[in-house]
Structure 1
Amino acid sequence: MTTHPEPATIGQLRSAGHEPRTVKAEIRANLVAALRSGDNPFPGMVGFEDTVLPDVQRALLAGHDFVLLGERGQGKTRLMRTVAGLLDEWSPFIAGCEIHDEPLAPICQRCLRLVATDGDDVPIEWRHRDDRYTEKLATPDTSVGDLVGDVDPTKVAEGRTLGDPETIHYGLLPRAHRGIFALNELPDLAERIQVSLFNVLEERDIQVRGYAVRLPLDVLVVASANPEDYTNRGRIITPLKDRFGAEVRTHYLDDVDEEVALISQEAELVAELPSHLLEVIARLVMELRTSSAVDQRSGVSARFAIAAAEASAASALRRSALTGEDDAVARIGDLADVLPTLRGKVEFEMGEEGRELEVVGHLLRLATAATFRERVAGADLTGFTAHFEDGSTVETGDLVPASTVLGQIGATPGLAQILDRLGVGEDSVSAGQVAAAVEFVLEGLHLTRRLSKVESDGTTIYGS
């Protein structure tokens, strides 16, 4: 965070050439500048470049409040938070103001009185753009007071009369003045509470318990929602939907490379996860999103893929700690082992009750086979298959170290080509990386019916 500008009073700010502008004008100017310079105005958003982001950009350029509509785990909250990056880095406000009034255009009673008495000597402070983003998770118990405001009994007890507008305790929306207010899961907000947002979105003011006070708020309102036919917990009432300028539909990623990029960006890995395993996870998620056994109205969140990657890496770290191997590298068997802990992230159709693990296991095999064909197609695998012609086997599992796996397979012709296909560098290759590649090839040979496999008590035996 860089240092804020120097002006410390309204007079100094005016002399510096500061001109007030609305938050939507501020965002519009910064977005136009980013687009013209080729900068990415929405860092971290993957796969939305040609679909969602153009609609969001149009809404922001038009100065519209908007709703992001989509299933869980489609990046709606992340997208809302990136909009804050389009605000000016520093913004001045009258010192001590609860709603961070614009120094040259105050709206609250306190600041108007202060400017009237002290003029250019009124002190100002500076607020970073991170502090100008306010996010609220809509819950059924959210009240009008939480969002808009209520009478503060403490101020009344101090001697102010009930008719004094300064007895108001401002809610989240007024406190987001000159910033962005994000409302997550809008349909969960009770319908009578949604009504309290009417004036904010249309007339840009608030009403608190009948007070004759008009507070012309300057705020960008962004909301997120799941499709109404899925949530069944509530709906966005029609008059409120009409007051939003745009409704932007998000979606899941439909490209393997984009899914891999998203997992790599979001997952916090405690061990190495080879690229071919990331690809298997990405394909597994896409299989789940098209399977008739999965409730597609619910969707399959990106959090499933992220959790699968993190859990697989954790399984490799566990093996390293228990066996004493030097490097922790995840293998295809680690992913299969962690799937039971992830089934709660997927909602299945009613007829699939009791078959959840069977369904996910089947889809994992499809994803592994597809990745095997994509990565290894055309490679010479005779060196691997020849190893089993005399009845030899290879035993692996979640507690079998890499050195044991490699000791069983021995020097295999064609292994260097496989490592190259799987993106394992020649200079810094480790035993764990080689073992992960070998186990992936063995699993691929099994799935293409060129090698048998037996699983028992946490171990897997490839071969006769």
Structure 2
Amino acid sequence: MRTTPPNDLPSTLGELRASGHEIRGVKAEIRDNLLAALGSGTDPWTGIVGFGSTVLPQLERALIAGHDIVLLGERGQGKTRLLRSLTNLLDEWTPVIGGSELGEHPYEPIAPETIRRAADLGDDLPVVWKHRSERYTEKLATPDTAVADLIGDVDPVKVAQGRSLGDPETIHFGLVPRAHRGIVAINELPDLAERIQVALLNVMEERDIQVRGYTLRLPLDVLLVASANPEDYTNRGRIITPLKDRFGAEVRTHYPLRLADEIALIEQEADLAADVPAHLLEIIARFTRLLRESTAVDQGSGVSARFSVAAAETVAAAALRRAAITGEAKASGRPIDLQAIIAVLRGKLEFATGEEGREEEILEHLLRRATAETARARLRGVDLTPLAEAVTAHPLRTGDRVPAADVVSALPQLAVLTDVAQRLGAAGTEDPGPMASAAELALELLFLTRKLAKQPSDDGDTVSYG
């Protein structure tokens, strides 16, 4: 990201006027840039997955209308990422008064001190350029957030320097005024105490601020956006009615509607320490979706997209651990690594009342379903009967501590395994990892369809199919 402005930009108010620069409000700026992107076919929502036909059209209409916006949705639905992506709709560089506390436009100083400076310096008023990334301000709402944090307070240091209490220049501005000509995002807005929410009313409607008896008519130019969880309205807090009324748009987010979007999200977000084949990512995505549909899981808390991302990273970590123990040259995820998800990530889920003690059983059942659905979808039309017969006659051992090369060398020489390898992307490589992963998935499908037996070892590290 570029943080140094081009050298040919105006550096004084006089030069800025001579360049023909025109001032725009932040909402007009966002609207113009959004319309230009839509007109040119450019995607302004980089990294946003699964919202193309649902959330984004609503958000775009709200931005074009110039509305302040609240995003409403369960945890892990990408609300914060969506808010942060709004910076893509700002101009890359915008002029501000050099040394200005509030980042005012050189044409329109609003604070008493900068108004005085502008009058004294005239066309020599210094101009600096602010990058779009510096015009986004984010605050996580917490119960201990104070009005001073958001709006401002009297600065005792300025009073001690000789200014009188009646002087508006004694005010230390808070987060919202400092975001003048930019975007202010408040995450988890209902967690903000109701008396603090009241402080935002004037900012959103009259665009002025009130600090300890001072009334400063600052024509703040901000886009205020917020996120909230539907549960927060009834459990931890709520958005007070007058504030909710001032938001021009409430946009509902959701988890990925399509399996392909769920997989794409995992591929985009997961930082994988080892290779994880596509069929394992599909199992994880199906597993996450089954969790969201299960009555045994508290759907009010939701199953975050972070769960599936963490699950993929856990599978990769399990593969890397096995490679370190067995000396494999390259770590590659296999279906046996999926078991690590349950042990490591069960704490990320909230279960429904009455399911105490059954958590592991529920997760095992849903993971088996996800595995079976993926295997059926990817191996549809492949007759695995020869594999079942061969393994029944000569049991095959696999497991968390069994190297991929040992699994592959123990496989029977069957044409059906060539079909399995081609279906699961394991063909054309000398690395045994992908073939071991593909074979394990085929064996697991035979087990789940009761065509093979599976016997875990006493130590839990190995499994015998036969």
TM > 0.5 fold call: yes
Q: Is the contact made by 2:151 and 2:175 (CA closer than 8 Å) also made in structure 1?
A: yes
Q: Measure the CA separation in 1 of the matches of 2:102 and 2:436.
A: 59
Q: Measure the CA separation in 2 of the matches of 1:22 and 1:404.
A: 66
1:47 paired to 2:22: no
Please say which of residues 252-261 and 138-147 is displaced more in the overlay. 252-261
Percent identity between the two aligned chains: 61
Match of 1:197 among 179, 196, 200: 200
| Structure 2 unmatched ranges of 5 or more | none
1:36 paired to 2:39: yes
CA separation of 1:429 and 1:256: change in aligned 2, threshold 3 A: farther
With normalisation by structure 1, the TM-score equals: 0.97
Residue 461 of structure 1: aligned partner = 463
Equivalent residues in 2 for 1:178-257 (5 A)?
A: 178-228=181-231, 232-257=235-260
Q: Secondary structure at the residue paired with 1:221?
A: strand
Post-superposition CA distance 1:127-148 (Å, at most 9, x none): 1111110000000000000000
| Structure 1 unmatched ranges of 5 or more | none
Counterpart residue identity of residue 330, structure 1: G
Counterpart residue identity of residue 142, structure 2: T
Residue 405 of structure 1: aligned partner = 407
Q: Measure the CA separation in 2 of the matches of 1:454 and 1:205.
A: 71
Residue 309 of structure 2: aligned partner = 306
Post-superposition CA distance 1:371-429 (Å, at most 9, x none): 01100011132341132242x21111111110111122143322221111112352x35
Residue 124 of structure 1: aligned partner = 127
Counterpart residue identity of residue 97, structure 2: I
Please say which of residues 450-459 and 379-388 is displaced more in the overlay. 379-388
Q: Measure the CA separation in 1 of the matches of 2:214 and 2:232.
A: 39
Please say which of residues 278-287 and 411-420 is displaced more in the overlay. 411-420
Q: Secondary structure at the residue paired with 1:8?
A: coil
Q: Is the contact made by 2:209 and 2:215 (CA closer than 8 Å) also made in structure 1?
A: no
Counterpart residue identity of residue 454, structure 1: Q
Q: Secondary structure at the residue paired with 1:150?
A: strand
Please say which of residues 195-204 and 207-216 is displaced more in the overlay. 207-216
Residue 85 of structure 2: aligned partner = 82
Q: Shift of residue 230 of structure 1?
A: 7.0
Q: Is the contact made by 2:400 and 2:462 (CA closer than 8 Å) also made in structure 1?
A: no
Residue 97 of structure 2: aligned partner = 94
Residue 446 of structure 2: aligned partner = 445
> How big is the alpha-carbon RMSD for the aligned residues of Structure 1 and Structure 2?
1.3
CA separation of 1:460 and 1:442: change in aligned 2, threshold 3 A: farther
Q: Measure the CA separation in 2 of the matches of 1:394 and 1:383.
A: 14
CA separation of 1:389 and 1:318: change in aligned 2, threshold 3 A: closer
Q: Is the contact made by 1:8 and 1:124 (CA closer than 8 Å) also made in structure 2?
A: yes
CA separation of 1:437 and 1:207: change in aligned 2, threshold 3 A: same
Residue 414 of structure 1: aligned partner = 416
Q: Secondary structure at the residue paired with 1:177?
A: coil
Please say which of residues 278-287 and 249-258 is displaced more in the overlay. 249-258
Q: Measure the CA separation in 1 of the matches of 2:231 and 2:63.
A: 25
Please say which of residues 276-285 and 230-239 is displaced more in the overlay. 230-239
Q: Shift of residue 337 of structure 1?
A: 2.1
Q: Is the contact made by 1:453 and 1:460 (CA closer than 8 Å) also made in structure 2?
A: no
Post-superposition CA distance 1:143-183 (Å, at most 9, x none): 00000000111111111111111111110001111000000
Residue 279 of structure 1: aligned partner = 282
Equivalent residues in 2 for 1:9-158 (5 A)?
A: 9-158=12-161
Q: Measure the CA separation in 2 of the matches of 1:425 and 1:398.
A: 23
Q: Measure the CA separation in 2 of the matches of 1:195 and 1:369.
A: 53
Q: Is the contact made by 2:80 and 2:227 (CA closer than 8 Å) also made in structure 1?
A: yes
Q: Is the contact made by 1:103 and 1:124 (CA closer than 8 Å) also made in structure 2?
A: yes
With normalisation by structure 2, the TM-score equals: 0.97
Please say which of residues 276-285 and 335-344 is displaced more in the overlay. 335-344
Q: Measure the CA separation in 2 of the matches of 1:361 and 1:264.
A: 24
Q: Is the contact made by 2:190 and 2:233 (CA closer than 8 Å) also made in structure 1?
A: no
Residue 8 of structure 1: aligned partner = 11
